């Protein structure tokens, strides 16, 4: 998907939610002007990326994903179907987690 699509569409992603929790009021005002702007510029997207890096949002999301993945894999043991299907489900989950962030 194109870079900035979620920004243009003002999607409430986990990255956006965490970013808004961390920024100060001046930065929030900047984000308010960028998110939902259909004509968002490359420099606007760079501003958002810089804030994401400043507040280490991707590190936090990555940690949350790893923690949730451990819990999910533990729950797989309780599933009452063949290991072949459990493996397929696990691979699908891992694929989707890697492509979303």
Supply the pLDDT for residue 2. 66
Question: Is the pTM for the entire model greater than 0.85?
Answer: no
Tell me how far apart the alpha carbons of residues 51 and 94 are, in angstroms, rounded to a whole number.
Answer: 27
Q: Are 91 and 74 in contact (CB under 8 A)?
A: no
Assigned token pair, 45? 């997207």
| Mean pLDDT by groups of 10 residues along the chain of 101 residues | 84 95 98 96 96 96 89 85 88 77 44
Handedness of CA 5, 7, 11, 14 (dihedral sign): positive
Residue 61 confidence (pLDDT):
92
Tell me, what DSSP letter sits at residue 10?
T
Cα 95 vs. chain centroid, distance in angstroms?
14
Q: Which of 52, 65, 47, 48 is nearest to 18 (CA)?
A: 52
Residue 3: its pLDDT value, please?
67
The pLDDT of residue 99: 65
């Amino acid at each position: 998907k194109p870079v900035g699509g979620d920004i243009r569409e003002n999607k409430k992603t986990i990255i956006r939610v965490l970013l808004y929790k961390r920024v100060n009021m001046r930065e929030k005002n900047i984000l308010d002007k960028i998110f939902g702007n259909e004509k968002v510029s490359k420099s606007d997207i760079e501003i958002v990326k810089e804030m994401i890096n400043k507040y280490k949002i991707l590190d936090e999301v990555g940690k949350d994903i790893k923690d949730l993945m451990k819990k999910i894999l533990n729950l797989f043991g309780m599933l009452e179907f063949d290991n072949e299907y459990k493996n397929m489900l696990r691979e699908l989950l891992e694929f989707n987690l890697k492509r979303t962030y």
